[in-house]
Amino acid sequence: MKRLLITVCGRAGSKGFRNKNLKTFCEKPLVYYTLSAAMLFKAVRPDVAVDICLNTDSALLVELVKAKYPEVTYIQREAALSGDTVPKMAVFQQSLREMEAKLNRKYDYVMDLDITSPLRTAQDVQNAFEMKEKRPDLDLVFSVTESRRNPYFNMVKAVGDHVEKVLSSNFTARQQAPEIYDLNASIYVFQRDFLAANKTSILWDGKIGVSQMMDTGILDIDSEEDFRLMEVIANYLYAEYPAFKAVREGIRK
């Protein structure tokens, strides 16, 4: 049986949007949406041995998670990994090291589910995992959305006193340009050995595949305004798309 470690990572505080990992989203704690999606994935893949850990330096976040999801293993984030500029991969690596040591087992894959992405479905999680599972040649699969702008066609850069296309091309229609995606930081699925051996904390060191998500489901939460706008989008998605509603309804009472 394959083994998967799911990491949920959130540090205390946040300069851009204070204590965003502790926020209540559509009347439920933000982190619970991520845990609900993880549990729904576990239910549809009983053939995979799944462990879930919370990596944080926030006692309040630990308390919140333990209240409803006591089976989640707590990893105390190292002080050196609590700064604003610490790469995510270093946090994933700490989670992997400590979970393997604590539970005396070795994982095949590591999946990170971002706390600030409450609008992912269980199918999104399953799609990303299954792409990595089917593609052993890939070191990493991460989630993306289709980009609304294309650097070959309708994006420009400042050059002296004028602007030019970001990437030079003779395309006259966006459909002619290569497919471009936005990374949405919602889901990462690593081959365990690639993550464990990485020394640079740079994702691009590996061979990467993408798993596409619905673009209206993800916004970068960097402010109160972003957060409130995402709640508006959420209420629409819960009313119109059962897969999004299922994650909210899957949150433990």
> In this structure, what CATH number is given to the domain that contains residue 109?
3.90.550.10
What integer pLDDT is reported at residue 143 of this predicted model? 96
165 located within any domain: no
What integer pLDDT is reported at residue 129 of this predicted model? 98
Number of domains comprising the chain: 1
Helix/strand/coil (H/E/C) assignment for every residue in 91-157: HHHHHHHHHHHHHCCCCCEEEEECCCCCCCCHHHHHHHHHHHHHCCCCCEEEEEEECCCCCCCCCEE
154 located within any domain: no
pLDDT above 90 for 156: yes
Q: Which residue has the higher pLDDT, 70 or 171?
A: 70
Name the band, by pLDDT with cuts 50, 70 and 90, for residue 155: very high
For residues 57 and 12, the answer to whether their CB atoms sit within 8 Å is yes
158 located within any domain: no
What integer pLDDT is reported at residue 86 of this predicted model? 82
pLDDT in tens, 181-196: 999 999 999 999 999 9
169 located within any domain: no
What integer pLDDT is reported at residue 14 of this predicted model? 66
| pLDDT (mean) for 105-114 | 97
What integer pLDDT is reported at residue 222 of this predicted model? 77
Name the band, by pLDDT with cuts 50, 70 and 90, for residue 106: very high
pLDDT above 90 for 56: yes
| 3-class DSSP state of 18 | coil
171 located within any domain: no
Provide, rounded to the nearest whole percent, the portion of the chain with pLDDT above 70. 97
Largest CA distance in the chain: 61
On average, the pLDDT of the chain sits at 93
What integer pLDDT is reported at residue 16 of this predicted model? 62
Name the band, by pLDDT with cuts 50, 70 and 90, for residue 218: low
245 located within any domain: yes
Name the band, by pLDDT with cuts 50, 70 and 90, for residue 163: very high
State the angle between helix axes of 242-249 and 224-240 in degrees (0 to 180), rounded to the nearest 10. 110
Note down the domain range covering 44.
3-147+180-249
Q: Which residue has the higher pLDDT, 219 or 113?
A: 113
pLDDT in tens, 67-97: 999 999 999 999 888 877 788 999 999 999 9
152 located within any domain: no
155 located within any domain: no
Query: Hey, which residues does 145 pair with through a beta bridge?
Result: 182
pLDDT above 70 for 217: no
- Tokens 């590591």 sit on residue: 110
Q: pTM of the predicted model, to two decimals?
A: 0.93
Name the band, by pLDDT with cuts 50, 70 and 90, for residue 15: low
